[in-house]
Structure 1
Amino acid sequence: MPKHPEVRKPLAVTVCNPYIPPNEYREEMAKALECIGRHLTKSEFEALVLKKLRVEDPAPSEKQYLQAAVELTVCAHYARFFPEGFVYEDKVVPPRDVDCSFKSEGYKFNVEVKCADFTLKEDIDGGGAFIMRAVGRMPGYNEAAAELQETFAKGGNELVKGLHMDNKLKAYLIDAHGKFPDATRQGEYNVLVVGCDDAGDIMQWEGYLTGVQGLFTEQSYAPAEEYSNVDMVVLTNLYHRHKSVEQKDKLSSHWWFGESFSLLYQNPKSTKPQAMAHAFAKTLRYFNDEVAQHRLEGDAPDWIKERLAIQHYVGDVLMVTGQYLFQPGQKRKLPPQGEGTSTED
């Protein structure tokens, strides 16, 4: 049952957290806290504000803050639109809890939120070298990378392998599996939300699910029974929208899940009725259909065009029409030959 917290005075805080700038971003955070606050006890609310978001901490961990910010954004969305059945930190499989649960169309939805640490990826991307990435676990990838690195080096350039994070996603799936009820509870649907970075990053994470040996394919490199309780994964750019907000002048509504870019992926091993997946899909804005219908020009094979569709849809459709769900990247000029090369954001 939803909690009914006691009547209490507003929590007075002094915001010292440098990741919460004194502008619209901070005002929106207060509104998100207001949405969820009525569902929390006094101690839960104080823990969220002071221990998770570290509002009064002048030197918090950015990684911890971003995880808490993504969690709050997702939870506040469901507290706002589904207040009657909303439960914060619901212990659906005691003693562990999920970040929140809510009810819609007669079903209960359990939601766990994860946010990766992209610091190492950002270091690689900003290192001034060409970057080679693979979608999924491509056979012969390491050998091909080694050959290309040798070729690039002969021309005075550097090629590095992009950070592969499918094991991180596998860990998220396995952890969420342990928090979610199993398939015997047919009236409950289990959703893992993953906060991702830019459009290219979401393309990579999609590949971890649906690419070669992807975790949601028949050829998954990991045993599917280890995460079979997860019925759906939502990839969303909430990390991108909360990271370095003062440098992202095109973005707004950072704290509203419905303003983010999200894609839904059903676990093919889920035994839940399709009606439950459809009911959950109605609870947020997502772009699967738009991306699937987006057609790329050129002579590349269809499978390559499908993999690039996310990035091209964001750049060629959303940004061209002024829909800035992502901050536009800044292209860097390539230096003269022999002086090294750099990547394009």
Structure 2
Amino acid sequence: MHKNPEVREPLSVTVCNPYIPANEYRQGVAEALECIGPFLTKSDFEALIQKKLRLEDPKPSEKQYLQAAVELTVCTHYARFFPEGFVYEDEVVPPRDVDCSFKSEGYKFNVEVKCADYTLKQQIDESGAFIMRAVGRMDDYGDAATMLQEVFASGGNELVKGLHMDNKLKAYLMDAHGKFPDASREGEYNVLVVGCDDPVDIMQWEGYLTGSQGLFTNQSYASVDEYSNVDMVVLTNLYHRHKAVEKKDKLTAHWWFGESFSLLYANPRSTKPESMALAFAKTLRSYNKDLVQHRMEGDAPELDLQSLAIPHFVGTVLMANQRYLFQPGKPRELKPDEEAVHAET
């Protein structure tokens, strides 16, 4: 256990970061820091506050903040529930480190956390045009898009191609591969956590793994040896839960990983025993079994229905029962008085 033996003076922080509004969300970050603090040295704790979360920065990079917030949410979960074996920024393959590691059922789990930059995607989504998306890779995607764009244009409409981020996921896998130990470390299991956005976005990230030419399929478009050290990928909506929180009035418990929507995908080429994957699965609330049991009905081919299962399940099961792991619809518009309060925090 990597607890800090130092006796520290209380750290006084004035929160100026505009992405941390003065409400229960700010209380949540305080509780997360209180939980993980004992596992960090004084310098690491100050770096987390000042350089990663940038609590006292009035003009921080939103991209950097969201990455730090997703990391902290994941690390806090394992520090809270698996404290005896928890290590923050563990150098499992020196000199590089993973975001955290922990122990459960006699195994060691190494966890690396990534969060994409959705700026370009959001610009496309907000353009007002019709958006064409693909689940997985399509060899004729470009030709199909060109044909449909001509059809839409003939009717006075615009069709744009949605942002495809499978190369981003490939980069995450390759980077994590370099941080993780290889299969010779038999008692260790390596997990990449990816912070995603809304249900449709998670559907697309699933496609990058399991769809046509997906990275976890036998027809992967990339060299599988370049990310073979990654035993599992977790797709979670933590980006969605930390982005524009003041506009998402249905969401709560932003800083609790177990309250997010998460799906687990074991690397089919992992040589680790299944017992390790099952042991990790017990450490986090996931919705894989719920999706398997969820049945969609319709005239479309079964594969097409399966690819839409995530947004369909979220809408017809979770939200229909007022289980708001996602903000329903588009984020609400702030009222003028709310905008003023937000600007002052």
TM-score, length of structure 1 as denominator length: 0.95
Q: Report what 2:326 is aligned to.
A: 326
Which amino acid letter does the alignment assign opposite residue 36 of structure 2?
I
SS of the aligned residue for 1:55 comes to coil
Q: Which moved more, 1:4-13 or 1:312-321?
A: 4-13
CA distance in 2, matches of 1:330, 1:319: 14
Q: Report what 2:158 is aligned to.
A: 158
Which amino acid letter does the alignment assign opposite residue 193 of structure 2?
V
Q: Are 2:17 and 2:54, in contact at CA under 8 Å, matched by a contact in 1?
A: yes
The within-5 A match list for 1:140-219 is 140-219=140-219
SS of the aligned residue for 1:84 comes to helix
Give 1:327 deviation, angstroms. Answer: 0.2
Q: Report what 1:17 is aligned to.
A: 17
Q: Are 1:5 and 1:42, in contact at CA under 8 Å, matched by a contact in 2?
A: no
Which amino acid letter does the alignment assign opposite residue 121 of structure 2?
K
Q: Are 1:291 and 1:310, in contact at CA under 8 Å, matched by a contact in 2?
A: yes
CA distance in 2, matches of 1:5, 1:54: 25
CA distance in 2, matches of 1:134, 1:191: 26
Q: Report what 1:249 is aligned to.
A: 249
The within-5 A match list for 1:1-345 is 1-330=1-330
CA distance in 2, matches of 1:140, 1:300: 21
Q: Are 1:5 and 1:39, in contact at CA under 8 Å, matched by a contact in 2?
A: no
SS of the aligned residue for 2:83 comes to coil
Give 1:52 deviation, angstroms. Answer: 0.3
Q: Are 2:177 and 2:230, in contact at CA under 8 Å, matched by a contact in 1?
A: yes
Give 1:293 deviation, angstroms. Answer: 1.4
Give 1:292 deviation, angstroms. Answer: 1.5
CA distance in 1, matches of 2:316, 2:236: 19
**Structure 2 regions of 5+ residues with no counterpart?**
332-345
Calculate the aligned-residue CA RMSD, in Å. 1.1
SS of the aligned residue for 1:312 comes to helix
Once the two structures are superposed, what CA deviation does each residue of 1:158-195 show, in whole Å capped at 9, x if it has no partner?
00000000000000000000000000000000000000
Once the two structures are superposed, what CA deviation does each residue of 1:92-128 show, in whole Å capped at 9, x if it has no partner?
0000000000000000000000000001001000100
Q: Are 2:2 and 2:40, in contact at CA under 8 Å, matched by a contact in 1?
A: no
TM-score, length of structure 2 as denominator length: 0.95
Give 1:3 deviation, angstroms. Answer: 3.4
Which amino acid letter does the alignment assign opposite residue 243 of structure 2?
K
CA distance in 2, matches of 1:70, 1:133: 26
Q: Report what 2:336 is aligned to.
A: none
Moved over 6 A (4+): none
CA distance in 1, matches of 2:19, 2:330: 22
Give 1:5 deviation, angstroms. Answer: 3.3
SS of the aligned residue for 1:234 comes to strand
SS of the aligned residue for 1:285 comes to coil
Which amino acid letter does the alignment assign opposite residue 36 of structure 1?
I
Q: Are 1:138 and 1:212, in contact at CA under 8 Å, matched by a contact in 2?
A: yes
The share of aligned pairs that are identical, in percent, is: 78
Q: Are 1:5 and 1:40, in contact at CA under 8 Å, matched by a contact in 2?
A: no
CA distance in 2, matches of 1:274, 1:330: 39
Once the two structures are superposed, what CA deviation does each residue of 1:21-48 show, in whole Å capped at 9, x if it has no partner?
0000000111011110010111110000
**Which protein has the bigger helix share?**
2
SS of the aligned residue for 2:172 comes to helix
SS of the aligned residue for 2:65 comes to helix
CA distance in 1, matches of 2:318, 2:221: 34
Once the two structures are superposed, what CA deviation does each residue of 1:290-335 show, in whole Å capped at 9, x if it has no partner?
112111121111000110000000000000000000000149xxxx
CA distance in 2, matches of 1:150, 1:137: 22
**Structure 1 regions of 5+ residues with no counterpart?**
332-345
Which amino acid letter does the alignment assign opposite residue 194 of structure 2?
V
Which amino acid letter does the alignment assign opposite residue 233 of structure 1?
V
